[in-house]
Structure 1
Amino acid sequence: MWMYLGLLAALFLGLHNLCKKHAVQGNEVFPVLLGTITSGFLLLLPFFIGSLYFPEYTKQIGFHITKIPWKTHGFIFIKSMIMTASWVLAYQALKHLPITIVTPIRSAGPFFTFIGAILIYQEKPNFLQWIGFFLIIFSVMLYSRIGKKEGIHFKSNKWIYAIIAATFLGASSGLYDKFLIQNVALNPQTLQFWFCWYTILILLVVLSVLWFPNSEKRKKFKWRWTILAVGVLLQTADYFYFKALQDPDALIMLLSAIKRSQILIAVLIGGFVFKEKNKRKKLVPLLGIMIGVFLILYSNT
């Protein structure tokens, strides 16, 4: 069951990536990011209020946000810091790079998660899983060659390093999620609500230094409906992902890889929506990534 929940998360993440590209294109990154997290927070806010005044009903429908100790708040705040740094880097990179380059690099995230799952959680991969992960990495390297034809040189382009750093931080957060869900025993909606709240606070501090004082940057900001859509789609994807993690049999390294199937939407649909170059050539490494994901998915069947 947890694998199917992972595929649902991948579906909503793929749609989230398309909306995110539209939201940041030619726009100010920081207020867009704040807007997306705020929209996700507002989506969850009725459940928080309902949990305070109608606890039995929210428990009945499965969306009760539980009271947690301050120590647990500290754990969630750490996740917020990690993901804020990851998102700031990723949004800046997405603003300057094609989505068909950014998304496959992000697909290397399962490799970092894979290593962490072995070292931290002692998850044991088999032969096919090893092949699957290295096939994903090799396919990402093929994307670097295609990127050069679009004027994107991987060694000298700072946005490439930004998206790689964002990918590493995102993978670290994924490993941390398993600790929060299984060890700290947080339910998905509780984790999502407080995570959004602390992320908003962190972003307000960042914007108060880098964006609010600059009138020229404020004028460049453009409100788009996709800003709201990004937040809603992300929280929906995270809900299915965290529900999958609640299963004690769920392997974080496999779940992380399953989520990479989102690139089908980003590359096949996003490439046409944003009219990006070399779409056919990008299908070759895309196929490699999908084969890698397939090997991981079916290695234990």
Structure 2
Amino acid sequence: MWMYLGLLAALFLGLHNLAKKHAVQGNETFPVLLGTVLSGFIFIAGFYLYAILYPEKALQNGFVFQNINWQHHCFIFIKSGIMASSWILAYQALKHLPITIVTPIRSAGPFFTFIGAILIYKESPNLYQWIGFFLIIFSVILYSRIGKKEGIIFKRNKWIFAIIGATFLGASSGLYDKFLIQNLTLNPQTLQFWFCFYTILILIIILSITWFPFKEKRKAFKFRWTIIAVGILLQSADYFYFKALQDPEALIMLLSAIKRSQILIAVIVGGIIFKEKNKRKKLVPLIGIMLGVFLILYS
């Protein structure tokens, strides 16, 4: 069951990436990020309010929010700090790079998760899993060669380093999620509610320094409906992802890889919508990544 939940998470993540690209294109990045997290928080807060007003009905439908102590809050705050940093880097990179370059680099995330799963959680890969992960990394290298044809030199482009940093932090957060869900036994909605709450606080502090004081930046911000869509789609994806992690048999290395199937939506549909270059050539490493994911699932 956890694999099917992972595929649902991938579906919502793929749609989330398309909406995010539209939201940040030619826009101020930080307020867009704050708007997406805020809209996601309001979405989750609706269920939180429902659980308070109608506790019995909420319990029957599985909308239970746990009472947690200050230590749990500290652990969730750490996750918020990690993901806020990852999103800031990712949003800036997405604003300046094609989605057909950004998304495949993000697809290397399972490799970092793979290493962490071995070292931290002692998950044991087999031969097919090794081959699958190296296929993913090799395919990302192929993307770098295609990126040069679009004027994107990987070694000299700071946004490439930004998206690599975002990918590493995102993978670290994925490993941390397993600890929060399985070791601390937090349920998905409780984790999502407080995670969004603390992330909003962090982003407000950052915007108070980098955006709110500057009139020109405030005027440059354009509200788009996709800002709200990004928040709701991300929370939907996270819910299915966390539900999958609740299964004690779930392997974080495989779940992380399954989520990468979102790139089908981002590269194929996104390439058509945003009219990006070299779509056919990008299908070659895309197939490599998908083959790597298949080998992991097959194993």
Distance, in Å, in 2 between the alignment partners of 1:50 and 1:147 is 48
Greater mean alpha carbon deviation, residues 54-63 or residues 85-94: 54-63
Match in the other structure for 1:251: 251
Match in the other structure for 1:43: 43
> How far did 1:46 drift?
1.9
Per-residue displacement from partner, 1:146-205 (whole Å, max 9, x unpaired)?
000000000000000000000000000000000000000000000000000000000000
Distance, in Å, in 2 between the alignment partners of 1:120 and 1:132 is 20
Using the aligned pairs only, state the percent identity. Answer: 79
**Structure 2 spans left out of the alignment, 5+ residues:** none
Distance, in Å, in 2 between the alignment partners of 1:282 and 1:50 is 45
Match in the other structure for 2:264: 264
> How far did 1:11 drift?
0.3
If the length of structure 1 is used for normalisation, what is the TM-score? Answer: 0.99
Distance, in Å, in 2 between the alignment partners of 1:110 and 1:148 is 24
Distance, in Å, in 1 between the alignment partners of 2:197 and 2:96 is 28
Distance, in Å, in 1 between the alignment partners of 2:271 and 2:219 is 29
> How far did 1:59 drift?
1.2
Match in the other structure for 1:160: 160
> How far did 1:51 drift?
2.5
Match in the other structure for 2:199: 199
Match in the other structure for 1:118: 118
> How far did 1:55 drift?
2.0
Number of aligned residues:
299
Match in the other structure for 1:182: 182
Contact 1:37-1:196 within 8 A present in 2 as well: yes
**Structure 1 spans left out of the alignment, 5+ residues:** none
> How far did 1:65 drift?
1.1
**Aligned with 1:68: secondary structure?**
coil
Distance, in Å, in 1 between the alignment partners of 2:63 and 2:275 is 40
**Aligned with 2:67: secondary structure?**
coil
Match in the other structure for 1:98: 98
Tell me which amino acid in the other structure corresponds to 2:30: F
Match in the other structure for 2:67: 67
Distance, in Å, in 2 between the alignment partners of 1:32 and 1:26 is 11
> How far did 1:52 drift?
2.6
- What aligned pairs does 1:214-293 form with structure 2 within 5 A after superposition? 214-293=214-293
Distance, in Å, in 1 between the alignment partners of 2:71 and 2:59 is 23
**Aligned with 1:281: secondary structure?**
helix
Tell me which amino acid in the other structure corresponds to 2:197: W
Compute the RMSD of aligned alpha carbons.
0.6
**Aligned with 1:121: secondary structure?**
coil
Tell me which amino acid in the other structure corresponds to 1:294: F
> How far did 1:54 drift?
2.5
Match in the other structure for 1:131: 131
